[in-house]
Structure 1
Amino acid sequence: MALVVDPAELLAIAVDAAEAAGELLLRRFRVPAQGVERKSSSTDMVSDADRDAEALIRERVRAARGDDAIVGEEGGEQAGASGLRWVIDPLDGTTNFLFGIPQWAVSIACEDDEGGLLGVVRSPCHAETFTAIRGRGAFVGREALAVSRKTDLADALVATGFSYLPSERAAAARILLRVLPVVRDVRRAGAASLDIAWTAAGRFDAYYEIPTHHWDWAAGVVLAREAGAVVSTLEPLGPSGPGLVAAGPGLHDALRALVTGAQR
């Protein structure tokens, strides 16, 4: 279906919802958590804060775009007829949030039949909103984003993350043993959407993670590509699904080869 709405209007909806959810989450941050439950494993947590933030975002999106589909990490998928789909991670970095670590984000993307149309990653603790529209560049506030221009992995600060499943964590550790001696250093900050946004901003030189879920990367990938990154998928380590590499053109192929070589 042809897009008949200005993507800037959709971006405004996403920014409004992300910033409102961020304010809700800030009010819950570093106070005793409620409704904490385990999901896929003993280390994969969800709380009332996740659920309430997603409910707020869904309400804002439905009020503005009632015919669009919505898929969220906590609330499942709602069908739509418009040809647009919103992909929501209401609290990316739940473990950090629950432990009082200020590295978590709200991630909202909107997709059409060509893929990611726009992405918003809101970092409430840093008071930063990362935005991108396909073909129109990526920004934090009004500052244009650009990925690292480095070409040597030995100079690269690389972000990564790990699965919640023990078998996949062991495989990720084996990959890390191959990557760590080759790069400048590795950071595991605990929120994939922020890792990718910071890669888009050149704060990290590159990012890889296996597995990643759609809601983890949907917004960040739009940011990264609009900032000049090359983004590609990685083969799964197990049942959780494929992974992702995002880096500037001078680093992507070498990092991808290093990670895939370590998977064999």
Structure 2
Amino acid sequence: MNTSTTTTATDAPAASAEDRELLTAVVDLAAEAGRALEARYTTDARPATRHDMFQAGTADGQVSLDILRPGLTALRPEARWLTDEYETTELPSGEWWVVDEVEGNVNHVHGLPEWAVTVALVRDGQTVLAVVRQPVGDLTYTALRGGGAHLNGTPLKISAKTELNAAIVVTGQAEADQDGTYRRIGESISAMLDKALLVRATVPSTFPMLLVAAGHNDVFWQYEPVLPGIAAGALMITEAGGTVTRIDGTPWVPGSDTVLVAAPALHEQAVQVLAKIA
């Protein structure tokens, strides 16, 4: 297993021509899946029950997967498809497609705009390619390890802030109801309220991570994340010049039980605040 850290993009070799061609093909597939989901999307959606919500969400996911799975498999026949058992654990070596076919599905089925198709390729423990296609707004985020991060072709750049008391910081709700996790989320918000300019909590995690990569947000952290929710965003942030670790500041790898992303000058300050949460 690969135990290298994903902290900055400066030590990454230049992206290969093969990976650049692969990125173009993945962008096309994500756009196709996005169009299929957009055809099912309406701002008038108001599910009345959990059953209605999950029924619509399941149907949405299948529509997207019917495009993504065969398309991505054709592009990289040897790459494995991430399954639930590997969403929160370190990945074995080789290539893995890490996909959220409807990131923010809860928003899609409620007629809200923050939903997307996300695709990342993890190779030997490192995310090397990422695409996030957000049909509402016509936004395409892309990143290649050693090739930069872009929004609709324009380079992304991390925040230049140096003081946490001027920072917008964000956390996300954990996917799993595990003992102590919700308590840590609440305590971490309280701790940051005393130090940061503005504290937000949101779902899903992809969108605040993209905002960190673009310099709109400054810090994001999450307890017990699932890999499809953060793999693409982590690469976007490192390629935009940001820092990605676990919450305690130790190296982050796909499958880590926490994640902290930040503008470099704010990273250690965020670690110190969150270190108080046990």
Partner of 1:111: 122
1:9 maps to 2:9: no
Counting only pairs closer than 5 Å after superposition, residues 63-102 of structure 1 correspond to structure 2 as 63-71=74-82, 83-102=94-113
1:56 maps to 2:64: no
One-letter code of the match for 1:64? Answer: L
The alignment partner of 1:250 has SS state of: helix
Per the TM alignment, residue 228 of structure 1 is displaced from its structure 2 partner at its CA by 0.5
Partner of 1:123: 134
Contact 1:72/1:89 (<8 A) preserved? no
Counting only pairs closer than 5 Å after superposition, residues 125-140 of structure 1 correspond to structure 2 as 125-140=136-151
Which of 23, 39, 43 does residue 35 from structure 2 map onto? 23
Give the Cα–Cα distance (whole angstroms) in 1 for the partners of residues 39 and 84 of structure 2: 21
| Aligned length, in residue pairs | 246
Which stretch shifts more, 216-225 or 113-122?
A: 113-122
Per the TM alignment, residue 176 of structure 1 is displaced from its structure 2 partner at its CA by 0.7
Give the Cα–Cα distance (whole angstroms) in 2 for the partners of residues 145 and 19 of structure 1: 20
Partner of 1:186: 199
Give the Cα–Cα distance (whole angstroms) in 2 for the partners of residues 213 and 114 of structure 1: 15
Partner of 2:262: 247
Under a length normalisation based on structure 2, what TM-score does the superposition of the two structures give?
0.79
Give the Cα–Cα distance (whole angstroms) in 2 for the partners of residues 194 and 228 of structure 1: 17
The alignment partner of 1:60 has SS state of: helix
Partner of 1:155: 166
* CA deviation profile, 1:132-162 (whole Å, cap 9, x unmatched): 1111111101111110010111100112111
Under a length normalisation based on structure 1, what TM-score does the superposition of the two structures give?
0.83
Contact 1:162/1:172 (<8 A) preserved? yes
Give the Cα–Cα distance (whole angstroms) in 2 for the partners of residues 90 and 14 of structure 1: 13
Contact 1:73/1:88 (<8 A) preserved? no
Partner of 1:202: 215
One-letter code of the match for 2:266? Answer: L
- What value does the CA root-mean-square deviation take over the aligned residues? 2.8
Per the TM alignment, residue 166 of structure 1 is displaced from its structure 2 partner at its CA by 7.3
Contact 2:53/2:106 (<8 A) preserved? no
Partner of 1:41: none
One-letter code of the match for 2:21? Answer: E
CA pair 69-166 structure 1, distance change in 2 beyond 3 A? closer
One-letter code of the match for 1:184? Answer: L
Contact 1:24/1:53 (<8 A) preserved? yes
The alignment partner of 2:246 has SS state of: strand
Contact 2:142/2:150 (<8 A) preserved? yes
Displacement over 6 Å in runs of 4+: 32-35
Partner of 1:142: 153
Partner of 2:225: 212
Q: Identity of aligned pairs, percent? A: 27
Give the Cα–Cα distance (whole angstroms) in 2 for the partners of residues 48 and 166 of structure 1: 28
Give the Cα–Cα distance (whole angstroms) in 2 for the partners of residues 22 and 5 of structure 1: 26
Per the TM alignment, residue 36 of structure 1 is displaced from its structure 2 partner at its CA by 4.5
1:233 maps to 2:246: yes
Give the Cα–Cα distance (whole angstroms) in 1 for the partners of residues 61 and 275 of structure 2: 33
Give the Cα–Cα distance (whole angstroms) in 2 for the partners of residues 218 and 241 of structure 1: 11
Per the TM alignment, residue 65 of structure 1 is displaced from its structure 2 partner at its CA by 2.4
* CA deviation profile, 1:25-62 (whole Å, cap 9, x unmatched): 21222347797549xxxxxx952112321232112112
Runs of 5+ unmatched residues, structure 2: 1-14, 88-92, 249-254
The alignment partner of 1:126 has SS state of: coil
